[in-house]
Amino acid sequence: MNLQTALAVRHHTNGDPKDVLAVEPIDVPVPQPDEAVVALRCASINPSDMGMIGGSYGRLRALPAIAGREGVGEVVAVGADVKNVTIGTRVRFPEEPGVWREAGTFKAADLIEIPENVPTEQAAQAFVNGLTAYVLLETFANDLKPGDWVIQNAASSALGFALTQLCRARGLKTISVVRDLRWENMLKEAGADIVLLDDDEFPKQLKELTNGGAIRLGINTVGGNSVWRQIKSMADGGTIVTLGGASTEAIRFPTRFLIFSDLRLRGFWMDKWNRTHSREEYLAALKGVFELMAAGVLKMPVEKIYPIAEAKAAVARNLEKGRMGKVMLSGNWKL
């Protein structure tokens, strides 16, 4: 039995998001005794969403699929036996089977409550970029000391802002490499020590700009020539962690850097971390992210929020160049 219907952003095939996405009605079932109905309030549009829709991501949903992985919802109805949440509780909108929809019915025990002091727009970015930045630094930066240098490309992304702010909180210095210097002031306000254009000149400038400081950790989400320039910038024994390949170009890693500089090339995938760690570890890391958001330490920029009904326009804007923050979706579905 269905409670009523809601709009959802679906795709029946994999392909270009601008071509395959459609906003369609779906049923919202009446909650069983152990279930709750959650209405979407805010959702993020992330690169991994585009990969899942396009068919290139490391895991794909069965088709037809509802798009989206990350968002915040509000409990609007509960089953008779539900005790852990009540009407009005803000929760993570469950990732499966898809977030970009006005509402859905879920097992109440699986819902993750969001602290009241975390802004909704930030909480809706906590589970992918916020958590990735937090866990990545917990994994790869624990041997770094305050004052050590970290370099990252695609620093103007939501992940880049999160990493910049979390490095500052740890006392680490950051080099933010970008394709557009319009981001310089925003990144420096977020805590970036150096902001440079991603071109062949920047590795030559770093020794002077860092006063000879050693760059111990590199974070790569681009690939191609961008990571090649990172490799040339690293100190002996440094580590470069790759989490994405926005350029689609191959990563070149010359043998001489392995031998003479003893560089390490590592990979990190948050989905795999989630699968290989316990729910308790996941919730502990998420608690750390929420605390930083509540304290104002972690705050990622938002450009514009579109209603679910305008999801195709939101995705088109997300794919355009020149954005100055996250594009998001919102819902105001009520019973």
What residues are labeled active site?
Answer: 57
322's CB contacts (< 8 A; 6+ apart) are 180
52, two tokens: 């899942």
DSSP code for 261: S
DSSP code for 137: H
**How far apart, in whole angstroms, are the C-alpha atoms of residue 181 and residue 154?**
12
**How far apart, in whole angstroms, are the C-alpha atoms of residue 224 and residue 200?**
12
Is 269 exposed, middle or buried (CB count within 10 Å of its CB: 0-12, 13-18, 19+)? middle
**How far apart, in whole angstroms, are the C-alpha atoms of residue 224 and residue 166?**
26
**How far apart, in whole angstroms, are the C-alpha atoms of residue 13 and residue 19?**
10
**How far apart, in whole angstroms, are the C-alpha atoms of residue 186 and residue 68?**
27
Coil, strand or helix at 9: strand
**How far apart, in whole angstroms, are the C-alpha atoms of residue 273 and residue 39?**
28
DSSP strand E in 198-291: where?
Answer: 215-220, 239-242, 264-267
What is the total residue count of the chain? Answer: 335
